[in-house]
Structure 1
Amino acid sequence: MTPDQIGLVKQSYYLIAPVSHQAAGLFYGRLFSVAPEVKPLFDRANMFTQADKLWATLGKIVDVLDRPEALEPAAAKLAVSHLHYGVMPEHYAPVGDALVWALEQGLGESFNPEVRDAWTAAYDHISQAMISATNAAVRNAGVQAAAGE
Structure 2
Amino acid sequence: MTSDQIKLVQDSFREVVPIKDAAAALFYEKLFSIDGSLRALFVETDIKKQGAKLMAALGFVVHGLSRAETILPTVQDLARRHVGYGVEEHHYATVGQALIETLAAGLGEAFTQEVREAWAAAYGLLASVMIAAARDVQLAA
TM range (shorter): over 0.9
Do residues 85 (structure 1) and 85 (structure 2) align? yes
Percent identity of the aligned residues?
43
Please list, as runs of the form range in 1=range in 2, the aligned pairs for 1:41-80 lying within 5 A after superposition. Answer: 41-80=41-80
Alignment gaps of 5+ in structure 1:
142-149
- In structure 2, the residue corresponding to 1:134 is in which secondary structure? helix
Aligned amino acid, residue 94 of structure 1? T
The answer to whether the 8 Å contact 1:79/1:131 transfers is: yes
Alignment gaps of 5+ in structure 2:
none
The count of corresponding residues between Structure 1 and Structure 2 is: 141
* Deviation at residue 5 of structure 1 after TM alignment: 0.3
Do residues 20 (structure 1) and 20 (structure 2) align? yes
Q: Which moved more, 1:76-85 or 1:88-97?
A: 76-85
Q: 2:46, 2:99 → 1: CA distance?
A: 19
* Deviation at residue 68 of structure 1 after TM alignment: 2.6
- Which has the higher Rg, Structure 1 or Structure 2? 1
* Deviation at residue 66 of structure 1 after TM alignment: 1.4
The answer to whether the 8 Å contact 1:75/1:126 transfers is: yes
Structure 1 residue runs of 4+, over 4 Å off? none
C-alpha offsets along residues 40-94 of structure 1, whole Å, 9 cap, x if unaligned?
A: 0000110111111110011111111111321321221110111111111110000
The answer to whether the 8 Å contact 1:61/1:74 transfers is: no
Match of 1:140 in 2: 140
TM-score, with structure 2 as normaliser? 0.96
Match of 1:32 in 2: 32
Match of 1:145 in 2: none
TM-score, with structure 1 as normaliser? 0.91
